Amino acid sequence: MIELEGDITVLKTLEREHCKKLWREHEIDDDLPTQPFEPGKSIEKADEWFEDIQKKQGEEQYYLGIFTKEDELVGDIQVTNIDWKNRTAELGVGISKIEDRGKGYGSDASRTILKFGFEHLDLNRVSARTFEFNKPAIKLLEKNGFELEGREKEAAFISGDRYDRLIYGLLRSKFKEELKV
């Protein structure tokens, strides 16, 4: 069981019931979803998600729940696609309910898992990808020291339009230097 403490969040291993809660409570807040929307898929799909997390946990990813200090589950965060030889991984973060977004949970959780990745997993680089319209994700990444490294032009087709995918990167040396970790 993993438990990592941030300033306003605690990151913990997700249990099956946590995955079901996140699955049930995920809200889409605009016309442009930032992840695939799967209407009509039952709660049992959350069981498959949980099993996938368990199968890869600790080997190719660390996938954790984002909890408030009052132990309320508000989202999930992960370092995935870990390349142990090259010491690289990718960051992903999501806050389920609209009312919980913009409160700093994602940013605090990101700093916490990045610190874990750089200090305990010995990662040297973490990358992240988002769409050009996802202003909250761009703000979170830049606040945590990520730099825009590239743009995949018109890489996503969403709601009838094409959008660029932005590629961000963060090196351990910059994370430690800029965020005084």
What pLDDT was estimated at residue 34?
Answer: 53
Task: Concatenate the DSSP letters of all residues of 22-57 into one string.
Answer: HHHH----SSS-SS---TT--THHHHHHHHHHHHHB
Helix axes 105-119, 135-143, angle to 10 degrees: 40
pLDDT of residue 177: 85
Phi first, then psi: what are they for 177, rounded to 5°? -70, -55
Residue 120 burial by Cβ neighbours in a 10 Å radius (0-12, 13-18, 19+): exposed
Contacts of 113 (CB under 8 A, 6+ apart): 4, 11, 62, 64, 77, 78, 79, 91
C-alpha torsion 179→96→148→143, nearest 10: -30
Q: 17-26: per-residue pLDDT in tens?
A: 999 999 888 8
131, β-bridge pairs:
165
What pLDDT, on the 0 to 100 scale, is given for residue 158? 82
The 10s digit of each residue's pLDDT in 129-177 is 999 998 999 999 999 999 999 999 999 888 788 999 999 999 999 998 8
**Token pair of 1 as six digits:** 């069981």
Confidence of residue 31 (pLDDT cuts 50, 70, 90): low
Inter-residue contact 20 to 43 (CB < 8 Å): yes
Yes or no: say if 173 and 144 are a contact pair by the CB < 8 Å rule: no
Question: Where does the pLDDT of residue 33 fall: very low under 50, low under 70, confident under 90, or very high at 90 and above?
Answer: low
Digit-coded pLDDT (tens) for 147-157: 999 999 999 88
pLDDT at 43: 76
Over range 74-102, report the average pLDDT: 96
pLDDT digits (tens, 9 = 90+) for 40-87: 556 788 889 899 999 999 999 999 999 999 999 999 999 999 999 999
| Confidence check: pLDDT of 28 > 90 | no
Q: What is the assigned CATH class of domain 3-179?
A: alpha beta
